[in-house]
């Protein structure tokens, strides 16, 4: 592919990261569904579990499928599944239907994350991969940030928060159409059979295993904050849901700013040092948020947590792709399986919250942040 085509192709590929961010709508949706159907925390937190459970099931098979169908075709399949998932709540709105819709959203998002990250390597150079992945996370964060705002506007002004789904469905359709019309040349490889054994065999490498566990806990923290922040603010500051939901938007606004700045800084600075500094900031912010009840202090700490989380995914992911560049599809499938951490951590937080309140649930995230700092210190230097 010539440089001109590559520059044009990178735009629809990066726009795919915007669709990837639609999975984060499960955070604010959980609060609305819990309110609408009067659910306990543990029952409500089954919704994010239904999204992120499928990362454990479909990630590795998607990596294998991608070897046969190609990266672009796999991305297009993911967009079709995502589109269907966003139309389901328009047709019917019940608790069980929402579980099904979010399961489909999770399957589509799994396929998208496994295939879109490697597809980016076809339109950017290796030396710009970390920065480009970080910019992709910036685009994703814009969608995550806009979700609670659109839901709040739909609820307060239009009278129905669920109007967010047809809006996101229309954007997903346009993204797929754009990608279909964009030629992308994928590198020619020898066709070889991959298996579950060969994919999971990557975990024998202690570095890949460490990076996999980092993704697992990172996404657990991210989804845990996404789903718990509105309830945490309601419990600690007596805010109504419509205003407390903006705490999630503040978190994603910080992530959006953080990924934009990170995309620039990571061109020149070490990912490992960036990772360590981010986790120190995150731990300090979480400790203060747990022990201080002032609304403005909590909001500042939420912003700091967003900055801390912003760039870690791309740092870990690019480190794994550089570790095994010839097996990028399998590495991507394996690491995206770690996104299933979003199905593990929130249900545990829900159980803890039912017993001790939302503050107790946040302590679990503090422990996870502690492990990520350990993970960052052990990471090999760039």
Backbone angles phi, psi at 299, to 5 degrees: -65, -40
**Distances, alpha carbon 17 to alpha carbons 32, 79, 105, 160, 200, in Å:** 25, 11, 14, 27, 26
What residue numbers bound the domain in which 14 lies? 3-183+194-378
According to the model, what pLDDT value does residue 244 have?
78
Which residue, among 327, 377, 309, 334, has the nearest Cα to 61 in the 3D structure? 334
According to the model, what pLDDT value does residue 189 have?
54
Residue 57 CA from chain centroid, whole number: 17
Q: Is 189 part of a structural domain of the chain?
A: no
According to the model, what pLDDT value does residue 286 have?
94
The two structure tokens encoding residue 250: 């503040």
Q: Is 132 part of a structural domain of the chain?
A: yes
Q: Which residues of the chain have pLDDT under 50?
A: 1-5, 190-191, 193
Q: Is 344 part of a structural domain of the chain?
A: yes
Q: Is 176 left (phi over 0), alpha (psi -120 to 50) or beta?
A: alpha
Q: Is 334 part of a structural domain of the chain?
A: yes
According to the model, what pLDDT value does residue 301 have?
94
- Token look-up 């979480």 returns 286
Q: Is 158 part of a structural domain of the chain?
A: yes
Q: How does 183-203 read in b/e, with b if 16+ C-beta sit within 10 Å?
A: ebebeeeeeeebeeeebeebe
Q: Per the structure, how many domains does the chain have?
A: 1
According to the model, what pLDDT value does residue 373 have?
94
Q: Is 110 part of a structural domain of the chain?
A: yes
Q: Is 79 left (phi over 0), alpha (psi -120 to 50) or beta?
A: alpha
d(CA 173, CA 170): 5
Q: Is 250 part of a structural domain of the chain?
A: yes
**Which CATH number do you get for residue 141?**
1.20.1250.20
Q: Is 188 part of a structural domain of the chain?
A: no
Q: By the 8 A CB rule, do 216 and 338 touch? A: yes
């Amino acid at each position: 592919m010539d440089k001109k085509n590559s520059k044009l192709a990178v735009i629809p590929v990066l726009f795919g990261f915007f669709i990837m961010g639609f999975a984060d709508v499960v955070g604010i949706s959980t609060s609305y569904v819990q309110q609408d159907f009067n659910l306990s925390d543990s029952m409500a937190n089954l919704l994010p579990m239904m999204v992120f459970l499928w990362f454990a099931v479909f990630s590795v098979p998607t990596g294998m499928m991608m070897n046969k169908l190609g990266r672009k075709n796999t991305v297009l399949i993911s967009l079709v599944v995502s589109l269907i998932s966003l139309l389901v709540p328009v047709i019917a709105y019940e608790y069980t239907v929402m579980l099904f819709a979010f399961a489909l959203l999770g399957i589509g998002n799994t396929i998208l994350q496994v295939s879109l990250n490697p597809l980016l390597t076809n339109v950017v150079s290796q030396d710009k991969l970390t920065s480009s992945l970080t910019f992709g996370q910036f685009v994703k964060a814009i969608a995550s940030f806009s979700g609670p705002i659109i839901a709040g506007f739909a609820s307060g002004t239009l009278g129905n928060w669920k109007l967010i789904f047809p809006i996101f469905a229309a954007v997903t359709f346009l993204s797929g159409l754009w990608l279909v019309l964009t030629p992308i040349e994928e590198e020619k490889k020898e066709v070889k059979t991959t298996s579950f054994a060969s994919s999971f065999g990557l975990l024998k490498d202690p570095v890949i295993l460490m990076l996999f566990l980092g993704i697992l806990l990172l996404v657990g923290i991210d989804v845990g904050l996404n789903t718990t922040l509105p309830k945490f603010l309601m419990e600690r500051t007596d805010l109504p849901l419509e205003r407390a939901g903006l705490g999630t938007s503040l978190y994603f606004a910080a992530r959006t700013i953080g990924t934009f700045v990170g995309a620039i800084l990571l061109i020149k600075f070490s990912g490992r040092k960036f990772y360590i500094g981010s986790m120190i900031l995150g731990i300090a912010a979480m400790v203060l948020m747990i022990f201080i009840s002032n609304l403005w202090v909590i909001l500042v700490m939420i912003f700091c947590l967003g900055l801390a989380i912003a760039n870690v995914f791309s740092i870990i992911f690019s480190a794994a792709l550089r570790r095994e560049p010839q097996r990028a599809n399998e590495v991507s499938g394996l690491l995206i399986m770690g996104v299933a951490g979003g199905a593990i951590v929130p249900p545990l937080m829900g159980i803890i919250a039912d017993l001790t309140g939302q503050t107790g649930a946040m302590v679990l995230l503090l422990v996870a942040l502690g492990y990520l700092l350990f993970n960052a210190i052990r990471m090999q230097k760039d």
